[in-house]
A and B are shown apart, each in its own frame.
Chain A
Amino acid sequence: MARFAAKHCAFLLLTLSVVSFLVFALNEFSPGAVARKELGAYATQEQVELLTRQLGLDRPLLVRYADYVGKVARGDLGYSARFKAPVTGVIWKHLRNTGLLAALAFACIVPFSMLLGIAAGMRESSRLDRAILIFSTVMASIPEFALGVFLASVFVVWLGWLPGTATLVAGGGWSVGAQLVLPVAVVVLFDSGYVISMIRASMVEVMQRPYIRTAVLKGLPFRAVILRHAVRNAMITPITVILLQINYLVAGVVVVETVFAYPGFGRMMLEAALFKDIALVEAGALVAVSLAVVTNILGDAAYMLLDPRIRA
Chain B
Amino acid sequence: MTDALLELQDVAITYATRGGEVEAIRRLSLRLEPDEALGLVGESGCGKSTVALSIVRYLGRTGRIARGRILFEGRDLATVGDAELRALRGRRIAMVYQDPMASLNPVMTVGRQLMEVPMIHDGAGADAARRRALAMLGEVKLSDPEAVMDRYPHQLSGGQQQRIVIAMALIAEPALLIMDEPTTGLDVTVEAAVLDLVRELRRRHRSAIVFISHNLGTVARVCDRIGVMYRGELVEDGPVRRIFSDPRHPYTRGLLDCLPTLGRDKRHAPLVPIPGHLESSSSRPSGCGFAARCVHVEPARCTVGPIPLAPIDGDAGHRAACVRAAELPVWSRRRAEAPAAGAAVASTALVATEHLGKLYRPRRGLFGRRRPGVRALSDVDLAAGRRQTLAIVGESGCGKSTLAKVLAGIEVASEGRVSLDGVEIGGLGIDARDRRLKRKLQMVFQNPDSTLNPSHTVGYAIGRALRRLRGGAPADAAAGVARLLEVVKLSPAMAGRRPRQLSGGEKQRVAIARALAGDPDVIVADEPVSALDVSVQAAIVNLLAELQAARGTTLIFISHDLAVVRYLADHVAVMYLGAVAEFGPVERVFAPPWHPYTEALLSAVPVPDPDAVGGRIVLEGAVPRATERPRGCPFATRCPRKVGAVCDDTPPPVQRLADGHRLVCHIPAAELQRLQRMIAGP
Contacts and interface: CB of A to CB of B under 8 A. Distances in A.
Interface of A: 3, 6-7, 10, 209-211, 213-221, 224, 228-229, 232-233, 236, 306-309
Interface of B: 56, 58, 86-91, 94-95, 97, 99, 102-108, 116-117, 120-121, 152, 154, 165, 168, 366-367
Nearest to A7: B367
A218 B91 CA distance: 7
B182 to A, nearest CB: 13
A308 B154 contact: yes
Contact of A214 (B87, B104, B152): B104
Question: Which 7 residue pairs are nearest across A and B when measured between Cβ atoms?
Answer: A219-B90, A218-B90, A219-B89, A210-B102, A308-B152, A211-B105, A210-B103
A211 B101 CA distance: 9
Contact of B86 (A6, A219, A228, A309): A219
A122 to B, nearest CB: 12
Contacts of A229: 105, 108
B46 to A, nearest CB: 21
Given A7-B366, A216-B89, A236-B107, 11 more contacts: A7-B367, A10-B367, A211-B103, A213-B103, A214-B165, A219-B90, A219-B91, A220-B120, A232-B108, A308-B154, A309-B106
Given A3-B367, A6-B367, A306-B107, A217 B102 contact: no
A309 to B, nearest CB: 5
Nearest to A236: B107
A214 B120 contact: no
Nearest to A309: B154
B106 A211 contact: yes
B551 to A, nearest CB: 43
Contacts of B91: 219
A233 B107 contact: yes
Contact of B58 (A7, A217, A236): A217
Contacts of A306: 107
Contacts of B154: 308-309
B120 A219 contact: yes
Contacts of B367: 3, 6-7, 10
A216 B58 contact: yes
A216 B105 CA distance: 12
A217 B90 contact: yes
11 contacts: A213-B58, A216-B89, A217-B90, A218-B90, A218-B120, A220-B116, A228-B116, A233-B107, A308-B152, A309-B107, A309-B152
Given A220-B116, A224-B120, A214 B86 contact: no
A7 B368 CA distance: 9
Nearest to B105: A211
Contacts of A309: 106-107, 152, 154
Nearest to B87: A219
Contacts of A214: 95, 97, 103-105, 165, 168
A220 B172 CA distance: 13
B86 A307 contact: no
B180 to A, nearest CB: 10
A219 B88 contact: yes
A308 B112 CA distance: 14
A210 B366 CA distance: 37
B56 A209 contact: no
A211 B58 contact: no
A225 to B, nearest CB: 10
B120 A210 contact: no
A72 to B, nearest CB: 25
A233 B89 contact: no
B155 to A, nearest CB: 8
Name the residue in B87, B102, B165 with the highest tally of chain A Cβ atoms < 10 Å from its Cβ.
B102
A176 B477 CA distance: 76
Given A308-B152, A308-B154, A217 B95 contact: yes
A221 B82 CA distance: 9
A233 B106 contact: yes
A308 B151 CA distance: 10
A220 B120 CA distance: 7
Pick the most buried of A6, A209, A214, A221: most chain B CB atoms within 10 A of its CB: A214
A210 B99 contact: yes
A217 B56 contact: yes
A211 B90 contact: no
Contacts of B103: 210-211, 213-214
A218 B117 contact: yes
Contacts of B99: 210
Contact of A219 (B104, B107, B121, B165): B121
Contacts of B106: 211, 233, 307-309
Contacts of B58: 213, 216-217
B105 A218 contact: no
Contacts of B90: 217-220
Contact of B89 (A210, A218, A228, A307): A218
A7 B367 CA distance: 7
A218 B107 contact: no
A52 B120 CA distance: 78
A28 B235 CA distance: 84
Contacts of A308: 106-107, 152, 154
A221 B99 CA distance: 23
A221 B86 contact: yes
B370 to A, nearest CB: 14
A242 B271 CA distance: 57
Given A213-B58, A219-B90, A307 B107 contact: yes
B663 to A, nearest CB: 38
A213 B56 CA distance: 11
Contacts of B117: 218-219
Contacts of B89: 216-219
Nearest to A311: B152
Nearest to A308: B152
Nearest to B83: A221
Most buried by A among B88, B154, B165: B154
Nearest to A212: B105
A216 B116 CA distance: 12
Nearest to A220: B120
